[in-house]
Chain A
Amino acid sequence: MLRLLPYRDLAWELVLRDLRVRYRRSVIGLAWSLLQPLLMMLVLHVAFSAIFRFEVDNYPVYALAGILFWNFFSQSIVHSMNALKGNAGLIQRLPVPKAVFPVAAVLSGVVNFGLALIPLFAILVATGHRLEPALLFLPVAIAIAALFTLGAGLLLSPLAVFFSDTVELIGVLLQLAMFLTPIFYPMKIVPEPFLALVRFNPIRSILEVFRDPIYYGKIPPLSHLAVASGLAIALFALGAWVFARSSRRINFYL
C-alpha cells in the first residue's frame, strides 16, 4: 500500500478519466446518474407505501439515503473487480502498483457519491425535512464507507482475475446482501428469524452511520461509530493483506 504514495497523481488521473468516460460529452450522462436514484426512490415509495403498507416517516429520505449508499458500495466493488482485468495490458508491461486500479475505482465512486448528495439535499428541502448541523458529519461517514468499500474491493478484485465468473457471482451475492440490509425497509418490519442476520450485517452498521445524520439529524452514537470504524479498518486491513498476498500471482493470470 505504501508503494502507492508516489503514484497518487496517477490515481487521481484515473479517477478523472473514469468520470470523463462516465459523463462523456453529455449532460444526460451526469443528469442520469443523479436522476436514477431519484426514480428508484419514487418506485420504492409507491411500492412500499401503497403495496406493502408500512409506515416510515418521510420514507423518500430514508430510502434515498439507503439507495445512494448502496449504489456507491455495490458499484465500487464491481468496478474494482473489473479494474485489474481492464488494465491487464498495463500491468503486464509496467511496474505500476496494481492496487492503484481498485483504489481509483473506489475513489471515483466517492466522487459520484458526493455528487449524488445534491439531489438528496433537494429532496430534504422539498419534503420539509429539517437540515441539522449533523449533516456536516457526512464527510466522516463517507470516509468510513469508502474505507470499508475499498477493503471489499481489494479483497475481491484478485478473485476476478483468477476466475472470470466471480463478477457475476458477486453480483448475485450483492443482491442478497442488499435484501439483508435495511435500505428500503425499516428494521421494525424484519421478521424474527431474519432479525439477527440483518442486525449483525456489517454493511448495516456502515450504512446507519451515513444515514443517521441525514434521516434523524443527529450524529451517530459513539458506540455505533466505533463499531463502524472498527469494521472498516478490519475489512481494509484484510483486503490489503489478501491483495498483497495474491499480487504475485495476478500477473501470471491476467
Chain B
Amino acid sequence: MPALRLDSVSLCYRLARQRPPSLKEYAIHWVKGSLTYEQLWAVRDLSLTVTKGESVGIVGRNGAGKSTLLKMVAGVLPPTRGRCAVRGSVAPILALGTGFDHELTGRENVYLNALLLGRRRREIDRSYDEIVDFAELGAFIDSPLRTYSSGMVARLGFAIATGWRPDLLILDEVMGVGDSAFTVKCEKRLEAYRAAGTTVLLVSHSAPAVENGCTRCVWIDQGRLVADGDPKEVLGAYLASLGSPAAAG
C-alpha cells in the first residue's frame, strides 16, 4: 500500500469570463445566455505513486501546477477527475502562518492553529512546551503575534505544523525560514521524521534542497508529468530546459 497514490488526476479551474459576483448579474447573464467559462487545466492526467518513507521533490516553472498538486494531495482542492488517495495523517504546510490571528498571543495561536490542523485540546496540552521550545520564542509567547518579527511567526508556524509526526508531510516553499541555525534545526526534524517513516512531498525552487533532501524528483510542466526519477538526473534535465542553471535560482 503506497503512502500516496494519484490515479490520472486532473484539476480544472473554471474561470468565468464575466465572473458574476452577484445573483442579480448571474440571472441577467443566464437569461441572456452569455455565461461563458474559460477552463484552466492546472493539472492534467497525472499519475504518481509514492511509497512510504520517500522524499519527493517537485520542480517546475511558475504556473506549472505544483502548488495545485499539493493542494489536491492535502485535501484542500478536490480533483476534477481521477482519484487521489493518501494513507495516514497529513500535515500540509502550504503557507506558514495560515490561520494565525495576529491579535492573539503566541500561546493562543498555538492552540488555535493546532486545532485547525485537527488536533484535540488534550494533545496540544501535552505538546505545548515542546512546540514553544522548538520555536525559540521564550517570553514572547504571551505577547500578541503582531509584535513578532516575520521570522518568529514563521518559526512558530513551522513548530506547530510539525509538532506531531505525520505520515505525509507537505511543504510548499517553506524550508529555510528563520536564520540558518533554525533552518538546520528544521532539517534535523525532517530527517528524524523521515527516519521514522514519514513521507515528504516538497515543492522548492532551490536545486540544492531538492538534490540533497530528496530521494526522488518529479518535474511537471503545464500540469503534466515530464520526468520522474533520480533527483540529480531530473534536476539536470529540468535546469537544462530552463536554458541556464542560473535561471533556477
Contacts and interface: CB of A to CB of B under 8 A. Distances in A.
A165 B24 contact: yes
Nearest to B98: A93
Given A163-B22, A165-B23, A166-B23, A6 B111 contact: no
| Secondary structure type dominating chain A contacts | helix
B20 A163 contact: yes
A95 B72 CA distance: 10
B110 to A, nearest CB: 12
Nearest to B20: A163
Interface string B87-100: 00010101100110
Interface string A81-98: 000000001111111100
Contacts of A251: 76-78
B23 A93 contact: no
A164 B101 CA distance: 24
A98 B149 CA distance: 31
A13 B26 CA distance: 37
A93 B95 contact: yes
Contacts of B77: 251-252
B64 interface: no
Contacts of B85: none
Chain A, interface size: which category? 20 to 34
Contacts of A164: 21-22
Interface string A59-91: 000000000000000000000000000000111
Interface in A159-199: 163-166, 169
A10 B116 CA distance: 6
A111 B76 CA distance: 31
B75 to A, nearest CB: 4
A9 B13 CA distance: 33
Contact of B98 (A9, A89, A166): A89
Given A6-B120, A252-B14, A94 B23 contact: no
Interface in B151-189: none
Given A89-B98, A93-B98, A9 B92 contact: no
Contact of B26 (A7, A163, A248): A163
B81 interface: no
Contacts of B111: 13
B115 interface: yes
Contacts of B21: 163-165
B90 A94 contact: no
Contacts of A94: 74, 76, 92, 94, 98-99, 116-117
Interface residues of B, number: 30
Contacts of B71: 92
Contacts of B243: none
Contacts, number: 68
Nearest to B120: A9
A157 B67 CA distance: 27
Contacts of A7: 115, 118
Contacts of B17: none
Interface in B101-139: 101, 111-112, 115-121
Contacts of A248: 78
Contacts of A165: 21-24
A172 to B, nearest CB: 12
Nearest to A96: B116
Contacts of A93: 76, 92, 94-95, 98-99
A90 B98 contact: yes
Contact of B99 (A9, A90, A163, A169): A90
A165 B21 CA distance: 8
Contacts of A252: 13-14, 77
A90 B116 contact: yes
Contacts of A9: 115, 119-121
B121 to A, nearest CB: 4
A9 B119 CA distance: 8
B22 A95 contact: no
B22 A6 contact: no
Given A9-B115, A169-B23, 15 more contacts: A7-B115, A9-B121, A10-B116, A10-B118, A90-B99, A92-B71, A93-B95, A93-B98, A94-B98, A94-B117, A95-B74, A95-B92, A163-B22, A251-B78, A252-B13
17 contacts: A6-B120, A9-B121, A13-B115, A17-B101, A92-B76, A93-B76, A93-B92, A94-B76, A94-B117, A163-B26, A165-B21, A165-B23, A165-B24, A166-B23, A169-B23, A251-B78, A252-B77
Top-10 shortest CB links A-B: A95-B75, A165-B22, A10-B115, A163-B23, A93-B98, A9-B121, A248-B78, A93-B94, A90-B99, A13-B115
